[in-house]
Chain A
Amino acid sequence: MSFAEIRFCTAAELAAALRKRRISAVELARASLDLLGKIGPRYNAVAALTPERALDEAKRADTAIAKKQGGPLTGIPYGAKDLLAARGAPTTWGAPPYRDQIIGEDATVIAKLKKGGAVLAAKLAMVELAGGGGYRYPSASLQGAGRNPWNVEHWSGGSSSGSGSAVGAGLVPFAIGSETSGSIGTPSAYCGVTGLRPTYGLVSRKGAMALSWTLDKLGPMARTADDCAAVLEAIAGADVADRTTSGKRFKPMAARSAAAVAKRARIAFADEDIADHASEEAKQALEKGIAEFRRIAPNFVRATLPVMPYGPMVQTVYGSEGAEIFAELIEGKRFEQLIDARQKAGLRAALETKARDYLHAMRLRTRLQDALDSMFRDVDVILSVGRAITATPITQPLDNPPTTASATPAPNRRPGNIGLIAAGNLAGVPAIFFPCGFGTDGLPVGLQLVGPPFSEPLLVALASAYQRETDHHTKRPRD
C-alpha cells in the first residue's frame, strides 16, 4: 500500500490490509511515524513520537498476524493523549512544570491496547492540565495551540487537541482522548471525527492524570463509530487498580440487531438546540444532519433536560477536585511556569471553594441522575448538536464570548438540551459525537447522542447506522 492509500484509512480497513498482507505492521508503523513526524507539527498535534516502542509492538503484531492470531487492533497504530502514562515516553500533561516527567509504567488503557496488539506511535498534545482552571487561549499547551486540520487558523478544540487533529488529519486511525466536561466532544466536533465518551467507570483511569476523580473518563476518537467500538471493546472492563471501574465490559451489537434498533429507538430532540443556539455558520449543516438522522431513526419525541445550573455545577466539581489534586503545584514555585494566566487564576481561586458548595454541587448531581433516569424511561437516547458552533479562530479568547462546552447559555434563549455536555458528564452517562457536515465557513459540525449508563452498544449502533447512510465522516482535509 502506498503512503497515500494508508492515510485516512479506518482501523478496520487497515486491519483487513494487514490480514491480506498488503502491508506489514512494521511498514504501517513506519508510515504512521513518518506522517506524525512530518505533518503533525502543522497542527501542533504531537507531544512525542514513540518510534522504538512502535516498531517493537509492530514486530510482535506481524508475528501474531503470521500465526493468524490477534484481533481487530493488531498492528494498528494509534496516538494517546499525553495525560496517559506510557513506558518509554515522557508524560507532560501538556504543562511546562511537567515537561520532563517520566512515568515508568503503562496506564491501564495503554496496557490493554498493547495486549490487543495495537501500536503506540505517539503521545498527543493536550491543553495544560486538561484546562481545569478555565483557560482563556487555545495556546494553553506545551505544544502550542492545537490547530485544526480543516483550517490551521482555527482551533482543534480541547483539551484532547492532538487526539482530534491527529485523527482528523489522517495521521493515525484512532487516538485515546479524555473528557472531564467536553474534552472528547469538542475536538471531535471541531475536527470532524467520531468520539466516544464512555459511561463513568467503564474504562480504567489508572495511569491517567487526574483532573476530577468523579468526572474523568477516557475514550476513543476515530474515523468511524465502528472503530470507536473496536477500541472501546479493548479498553473497557474492570481494573483492580482503579476502584471506580464498574466491572462492566462492552460488546457492540450484532449488525442485524443494530439496524432494527435504529428503526425503533425513541430519540429525544429539542429543536431550539439549533434554532436558538447554533451559530449562523453551523445552523444549516446541523439542521441537515438532524434531517438525515431522522430518516435513519424516525421515532423522534420532544424531551428536554431538567433546567439546572450545569455550568456552575460542573465548574464547582472539577474546579475544587482539580485544585486539590494540584494543590502542591499551585502553592509551589513551578506553578508560574503554566502558560495561561487565566487558568492560573482559576486554579488558585478554586482552592478556596467551600466544602458546602462542592457538596451542594455533588448532591445536585444525584438529583440530575434521578431526573435522567426518569427521562430515559420515556426515551432511549437524547440527540443534540455536538457543538452549536464551528471551531473558533486560534487567537479568539474562549471566555469572551463564552464558547466552552460548559458555558451557561444566554438567559434569553430556551435551554433545550444545549447543556447536554455538562449534564451528561455530571450524570456520568455515555455520549457519541459524530460529524454531520460542514458549516458555511468550511469547518466541520457534528451531532451527539447521549444514553443511559452503559448504553454504548445502542449509541454505537445509531451512529454507525447514520455513517452507513452518509459520507460526512469520510471527508478529508487538504494539508
Chain B
Amino acid sequence: MAEDERNIDDPARLADEAREIVQKAATELRALRIPIETEPPTTFKAD
C-alpha cells in the first residue's frame, strides 16, 4: 500500500485512519468465535 503523504495531523487523513482503526478492531474481534450461550457480563454484585 502506498504511504499516505498527507501531514500526520491532516483532518482528512485522521478521519480515514480513525475509520480504519474501528474497522481493524472489528475484524480482529469477529475472528474470535464465541460459544452461542455467552452473554455480555453483568456488574459485580454484593453477596
Contact = CB atoms under 8 A, between A and B. Distances in A.
Main secondary structure of the interface of A (DSSP, over half): helix
Given A246-B46, A341-B14, A345-B14, A369 B8 contact: no
A360 B36 CA distance: 11
A349 B46 contact: no
A137 B41 CA distance: 33
B9 interface: yes
A438 interface: no
Interface string B7-47: 01101001101110110111011101010001111011110
Chain B CB count within 10 A is highest, among A248, A359, A366, for A366
A366 B29 contact: no
Contacts of A247: 45-46
B40 A342 contact: no
B14 A342 contact: yes
Contacts of A319: 22
Interface of B: 8-9, 11, 14-15, 17-19, 21-22, 24-26, 28-30, 32, 34, 38-41, 43-46
A312 B44 contact: no
Contacts, number: 103
B29 to A, nearest CB: 5
A215 B8 CA distance: 30
B38 A367 contact: yes
Interface in A211-252: 214, 238, 244, 246-248
11 contacts: A136-B9, A199-B44, A201-B43, A246-B45, A246-B46, A312-B29, A345-B15, A357-B30, A360-B29, A364-B34, A400-B8
A200 B43 CA distance: 8
B44 A428 contact: yes
Contacts of A315: 21, 25
A366 B43 contact: no
A130 interface: no
A346 B46 CA distance: 36
Contact of B26 (A316, A400, A453, A454): A316
Given A246-B43, A362-B40, A369-B41, 16 more contacts: A201-B44, A244-B43, A246-B44, A246-B45, A246-B46, A247-B46, A248-B46, A344-B11, A344-B14, A346-B21, A353-B26, A357-B25, A362-B41, A363-B39, A428-B43, A453-B44
A406 to B, nearest CB: 11
Interface residues of A, number: 46
A365 B32 contact: no
Interface in A194-210: 199-201
A346 B18 contact: yes
Contacts of A357: 25-26, 29-30
Interface string A319-353: 10000000000000000000001101110111011
Nearest to B17: A345
B38 A363 contact: yes
B7 to A, nearest CB: 10
Contacts of B38: 363, 366-367
Contact of B32 (A214, A364, A454): A364
Given A136-B9, A247-B46, A360 B21 contact: no
B34 A345 contact: no
A363 B46 contact: no
A397 B46 CA distance: 42
Contacts of A360: 29-30, 32, 34
Nearest to B10: A341
A315 B26 CA distance: 10
